[in-house]
């Protein structure tokens, strides 16, 4: 997969990561992780991003128009729809929201006026210059990060006056349920949906990789001891299973969600990651 450029992983990262698994049990665990790994290349991610906006997002906003109508509006930039990256003022510059916006701009040839920062989006809504906001993101996990963003900029108090769509390329069902409980009026539209069966320690996964000899429960107990011994336990609220204890094996070329298993992406003095966080 690496040699065929399907997985955006360097050979050095792969070798450094696999070298850390020494016993037969550890090597089996590493093989199971690789078997379950879903890693989206740049081309795969961009294809999903374009499909999401030209498909489901466009149909939600303009049900009676063709699938290029949204692209045409974004190109002209003279309408009441604005794209907003999911980012808070205390987020680092490396946050993926602006990166996703930049790729969307290039792919859909958006006019610069179609894309605004969150605080500018609030200003335009209050002036009546905008009636639709589309929040752009790559991944929705448990929903707590988007909840923080939505409340921080005051979008939660403006749901009744404007149409708002949250458009993560990939979303977990836990996050979808969480946001639906908080704000039923918010339209959340994703391109790819994950659920609890995508968790590495789900019964579905270990019925396939355990060969009838290792259960999901036994695998998780083994990993907890392994992670503690190798210092693969990040700060709260991440924990040894990732944020929300989702234990995913999912990532993008540009970033790995912290809902994925830390053994894939966490870096410490005693552990080298396979994927970039």
* pLDDT at residue 147 is higher than 90: yes
Could you tell me the sign of the dihedral formed by the alpha carbons of 145, 148, 153, 159, in that order? Answer: positive
d(CA 149, CA 172): 18
Q: Give the lowest-confidence range in 53-62, 72-81, 191-200, 221-230.
A: 72-81
The pLDDT of residue 92 is 66
Final residue in a domain of this structure, among 194, 218, 241? 194
The 10 Å Cβ neighbour count of residue 28 is 17
Token pair recorded at residue 64: 């009676």
Residues 156, 22 share a domain = no
SS3 30: helix
* pLDDT at residue 4 is higher than 90: no
Residues 92, 125 share a domain = yes
Model confidence band, residue 194 (pLDDT cutoffs 50, 70, 90): very high
Q: Give the lowest-confidence range in 4-8, 55-59, 235-239.
A: 235-239
Number of domains in the chain: 2
Nearby residues of 256 by Cβ (< 8 Å), 6 or more positions away: 250, 264, 265, 275, 276, 277
The pLDDT of residue 88 is 76
Residues 211, 156 share a domain = no
Angle at the Cα of 93 from the Cα atoms of 89 and 98, rounded to 5 degrees? 85
Model confidence band, residue 6 (pLDDT cutoffs 50, 70, 90): confident
Residue at 5 is within a domain: no
**Strand runs (DSSP E) across 125-225, as ranges?**
132-140, 163-172, 187-188, 192-194
Average pLDDT over residues 242-248: 92
Tell me the pLDDT of the chain averaged across its residues. Answer: 90
Residues 99, 64 share a domain = yes
Residue at 122 is within a domain: yes
d(CA 119, CA 84): 9
For residue 141, the enclosing domain spans: 42-194
Residue at 270 is within a domain: no
d(CA 122, CA 181): 23
């Amino acid at each position: 997969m690496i040699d065929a450029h399907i997985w955006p992983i360097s050979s050095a990262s792969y070798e450094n990561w696999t070298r850390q698994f020494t016993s037969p049990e550890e090597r089996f665990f590493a093989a199971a992780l690789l078997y379950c790994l879903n890693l989206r290349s740049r081309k795969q991610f961009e294809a999903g991003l374009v499909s999401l906006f030209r498909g489901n997002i466009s149909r939600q906003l303009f049900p009676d128009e063709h699938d290029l109508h949204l692209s045409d509006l974004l190109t002209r930039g003279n309408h009441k729809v604005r794209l907003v990256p999911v980012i808070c003022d205390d987020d680092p510059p490396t946050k993926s929201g602006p990166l996703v916006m930049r790729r969307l701009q290039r792919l859909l040839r958006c006019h610069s006026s179609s894309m605004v920062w969150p605080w500018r989006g609030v200003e335009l809504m209050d002036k009546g210059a905008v009636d639709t906001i589309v929040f752009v993101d790559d991944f929705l996990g448990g929903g707590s990060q988007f909840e923080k963003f939505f409340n921080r900029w005051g979008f939660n108090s403006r749901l009744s006056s404007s149409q708002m769509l949250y458009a993560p390329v990939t979303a977990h069902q836990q996050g979808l349920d969480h946001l639906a409980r908080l704000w039923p009026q918010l339209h959340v539209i994703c391109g790819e949906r994950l659920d609890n069966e995508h968790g590495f320690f789900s019964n579905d996964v270990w019925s396939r990789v355990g060969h009838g000899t290792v259960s999901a429960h036994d695998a998780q107990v083994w990993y907890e001891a392994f992670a503690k011994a190798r210092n693969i336990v990040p700060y709260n609220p991440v924990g040894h299973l990732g944020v929300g204890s989702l234990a995913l094996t999912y990532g993008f070329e540009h970033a790995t969600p912290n809902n994925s298993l830390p053994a894939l992406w966490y870096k410490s003095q005693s552990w080298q990651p396979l994927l970039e966080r």
